[in-house]
């Protein structure tokens, strides 16, 4: 045990002998809960390295990237070299061989510097499906949503029919992050309409490819340095071997991928929330009004306190979900809770940060307005807050056997 684990364990000893069933339920659900008080040394070094990188390389250019809609290609490449884009890939295959908690920390620190770069890192993890087909440097994207259905993922109207030794896909996918920069995409299409969501299958399509075209880059409110576009499939033909997993398993694959993806997006939202808090606290220190720094005023202190509690509780939920995933335990509910808490923390903190900054919060000279715009999407993509509540609710009911 490390020094940190030992001290936390000593603190928890009295509680371990408490006969409360709720406590034992909690402990059996996450045997590493006591580790959350202090991160292991490797994770601390990782977090510091990513923080240094974000402070030196991302924060100075974030405003410019946002204003000019420029994709941070050089920085993404550098992060790739550092291993941040392949955190879970084993060392033998050139990855970092680290766990999901490490990945979550990395995404949070990068998003603190630049949310658009963070979202690239968060979406990268879905590459595991594309790994066999592309080399390490290439980027993939995940195409589930359609113009006619986002939350209603089971109603995929993109169709796939078999013709000889090929699949032929027709339809449109919407809101695809990294669409313009990807070398391959995972597309979810209906193979058997009668089976409803059990009739959806996953397909890998390399890009560019005949029959696959990209729509225009969306002009978004936030995360403007990251590209979002439609993917249009018109008689797009791919070999039979390009189906991922068994026929009809598409919906399940999508949901499983989303579970992990939610931890990534939660981490990104945490980064934005933390950046807002840092910005507000720094301003409260420097700005004087009524004869003293505004940080002395209770109104400001209460805001900062609420922001800090929101961030820290969301962070612990995110770490817990990551630790559960690392222990290969079920983590669907915790991932949904993390994403819900973190995205709402991001919008809350960025909103309050503008309030603390007053007029300065409304102009582009300070990053507060960019955080406000970047935070908003976190409550929508990778499952809206409403969907997260549905997921949590149904998981809870299962636990209570209702």
Partner 1 sequence: MSGRVLVGVKRVIDYAVKIRVKPDNTGVVTDGVKHSMNPFCEIAVEEAVKLKEKKLIKEVVAVSCGPQQSQETIRTALAMGADRGIHVEVSGKDYENLGPLQVSKILAALAKKEDAQLILLGKQAIDDDCNQTGQMTAALLDWPQGTFASEVSLEGDKINLVREIDGGLEHIKINTPAVVTADLRLNTPRYATLPNIMKAKKKKIATMKPADLGVDLTSRLEVLKVEEPPQRQAGMKVETVEDLVGKLKEAGRI
Name the residues that contact partner 1, by CB under 8 A. Answer: 41-42, 44-46, 48-49, 52-53, 78, 81-84, 87, 91, 94-98, 102, 106
CB-nearer residue toward partner 1: 91 or 386: 91
Query: Residues 41, 166, 382, 399: which is the catalytic one?
Result: 382
- What are the angstrom distances between the C-alpha of 236 and each of 161, 171, 209, 210? 10, 9, 8, 6
CB-nearer residue toward partner 1: 82 or 390: 82
CB-nearer residue toward partner 1: 88 or 374: 88
The beta strands (E) that lie in 57-104 are given as none
**Smallest distance, partner 1 to C-beta of residue 10, A:** 18
CB-nearer residue toward partner 1: 49 or 183: 49
**Smallest distance, partner 1 to C-beta of residue 302, A:** 24
255, 251, 208, 253: which is closest to 232 by C-alpha?
Answer: 208
**Smallest distance, partner 1 to C-beta of residue 135, A:** 17
**Buried/exposed code over 47-79 (b: 16+ C-beta within 10 A; e: otherwise):** beebbebbeebbeebbbebbeeeebbeebbeeb
- What are the angstrom distances between the C-alpha of 182 and each of 83, 152, 222? 19, 25, 20
Three-state SS at 158: coil
**Smallest distance, partner 1 to C-beta of residue 92, A:** 10
Residues 390 and 396: their CA atoms lie apart, in Å, by 10
**Smallest distance, partner 1 to C-beta of residue 95, A:** 7
* 36, HSE (Cβ side, Cα atoms, 13 Å): 20
Inter-residue contact 212 to 170 (CB < 8 Å): no
**Smallest distance, partner 1 to C-beta of residue 3, A:** 9
Three-state SS at 320: helix
CB-nearer residue toward partner 1: 86 or 144: 86
Tokens read off for 128: 């595991």
Kindly report the CA angle at 338 between 337 and 343, in degrees rounded to 5?
105
Residues 299 and 198: their CA atoms lie apart, in Å, by 53
**Smallest distance, partner 1 to C-beta of residue 285, A:** 11
Residues in the chain: 402
Residues 391 and 339: their CA atoms lie apart, in Å, by 11
**Buried/exposed code over 366-378 (b: 16+ C-beta within 10 A; e: otherwise):** bbbbbbbbbbbbb
CB-nearer residue toward partner 1: 87 or 202: 87
CB-nearer residue toward partner 1: 41 or 137: 41
312 is catalytic: no
Which amino acids are annotated catalytic?
382
């Amino acid at each position: 045990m490390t020094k940190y684990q030992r001290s936390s364990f000593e603190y928890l000893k009295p509680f371990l002998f408490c006969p409360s069933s709720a406590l034992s339920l909690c402990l059996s659900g996450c045997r590493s809960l006591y580790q959350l008080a202090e991160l292991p040394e490797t994770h601390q070094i990782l977090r510091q390295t990513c923080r240094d990188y974000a402070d030196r390389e991302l924060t100075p250019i974030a405003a410019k990237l946002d204003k000019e809609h420029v994709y941070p290609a050089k920085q993404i490449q550098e992060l790739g070299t550092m291993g941040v884009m392949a955190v879970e890939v084993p060392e033998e295959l050139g990855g970092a061989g680290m766990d999901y908690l490490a990945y979550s920390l990395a995404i949070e620190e990068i998003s603190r510097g630049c949310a658009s770069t963070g979202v690239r890192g968060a979406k990268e993890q879905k590459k595991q499906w594309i790994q066999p087909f592309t080399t390490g440097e290439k980027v993939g994207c995940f195409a589930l949503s359609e113009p006619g259905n986002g939350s209603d993922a089971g109603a995929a109207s993109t169709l796939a029919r078999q013709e000889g030794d090929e699949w032929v896909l027709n339809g449109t996918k919407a809101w695809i992050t990294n669409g313009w920069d990807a070398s391959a995409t995972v597309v979810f299409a209906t193979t058997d309409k009668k089976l409803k969501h059990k009739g959806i299958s996953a397909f890998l399509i390399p890009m560019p490819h005949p029959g696959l075209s990209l729509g225009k880059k969306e002009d978004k409110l936030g995360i403007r340095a990251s590209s979002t576009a439609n993917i249009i499939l018109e008689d797009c033909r791919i070999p039979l071997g390009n189906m991922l997993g068994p026929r009809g398993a598409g919906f399940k694959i999508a949901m499983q991928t989303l579970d992990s993806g939610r931890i990534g997006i939660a981490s990104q939202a945490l980064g934005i929330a933390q950046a807002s808090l840092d910005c507000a606290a720094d301003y409260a220190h420097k700005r004087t009004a009524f004869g003293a720094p505004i940080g002395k005023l209770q109104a400001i202190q209460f805001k900062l306190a609420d922001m800090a509690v929101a961030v820290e509780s969301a962070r612990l939920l995110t770490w817990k979900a990551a630790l559960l995933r690392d222990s290969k335990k079920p983590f669907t509910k915790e991932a949904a809770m993390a994403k819900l808490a973190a995205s709402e923390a991001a919008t809350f903190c960025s909103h309050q940060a503008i309030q603390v900054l007053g007029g300065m919060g409304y102009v582009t000279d300070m990053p507060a307005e960019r955080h406000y715009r970047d935070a908003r999407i976190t409550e929508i993509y990778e499952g809206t807050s409403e969907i997260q509540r549905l997921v949590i609710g149904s998981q809870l009911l299962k636990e209570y056997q209702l």
